[in-house]
Amino acid sequence: MVLHMAEILQVYDIIKSDTLRSRQAACNIVDTIFEIPPTEDVYIDFNNIIFASRSFCHELLTAIKQRKNVHLVNTNSEIKKMCDVATKKPEIIFDFSNEKKVLLEN
C-alpha cells in the first residue's frame, strides 16, 4: 500500500484577511505551493474567505495550472463564480444589423 502525501494550505492563515484583492496575495500563496514537493497533493483551503477578486483568481489559477495535483476546497459560490470569470476569455459580439450605410461622393 502506497501512502499519498497531502498538504493543506489555509488561505486565511497565509494572507491574514478574509478578502483577497491583489495579485500579490495570490503570489504569496503560489510561493508557498511551490515550496511543497511536486509529488504531494496540495489543497488550497478557502475556509473563512468571503471574497476573491478577479485579478487574485486569475493570478492564482494561471500559476497553479502548472501542477496537476492542486485543488481548491471550501470555496463559496462567489469565489467559484469569480474563478470561472477569471479563466474565461471575454467574448465580444458585434451587431451590425442596425448599421446605417451611407454612400460618400467625391
Q: Quick check: is 33 in a domain? A: yes
Tens-digit pLDDT profile for residues 30-39: 999 999 998 8
**What CATH number does the domain containing 44 carry?**
3.30.750
Greater confidence (44 vs 90) lies with 44
Give residue 20's domain range: 6-87
Q: How many domains does the chain have?
A: 1
Q: Quick check: is 105 in a domain? A: no
Q: Quick check: is 1 in a domain? A: no
Q: Quick check: is 98 in a domain? A: no
| CA–CA distance, 11 with 53 (Å, rounded to integer) | 14
Paired sense of beta strands 70-73 and 51-52, if any = unpaired
In the chain, the percentage of residues whose pLDDT exceeds 70 is 88
C-alpha closest to that of 43 among 70, 79, 11, 18: 70
Q: Which amino acid is at 30?
A: V
Measured in whole angstroms, the distance separating CA 4 from the mean position of its chain's CA atoms is 25
Greater confidence (93 vs 62) lies with 62
Q: What is the mean predicted confidence (pLDDT) over 2-10?
A: 81
Phi, psi of 77, rounded to the nearest 5 degrees: -60, -35
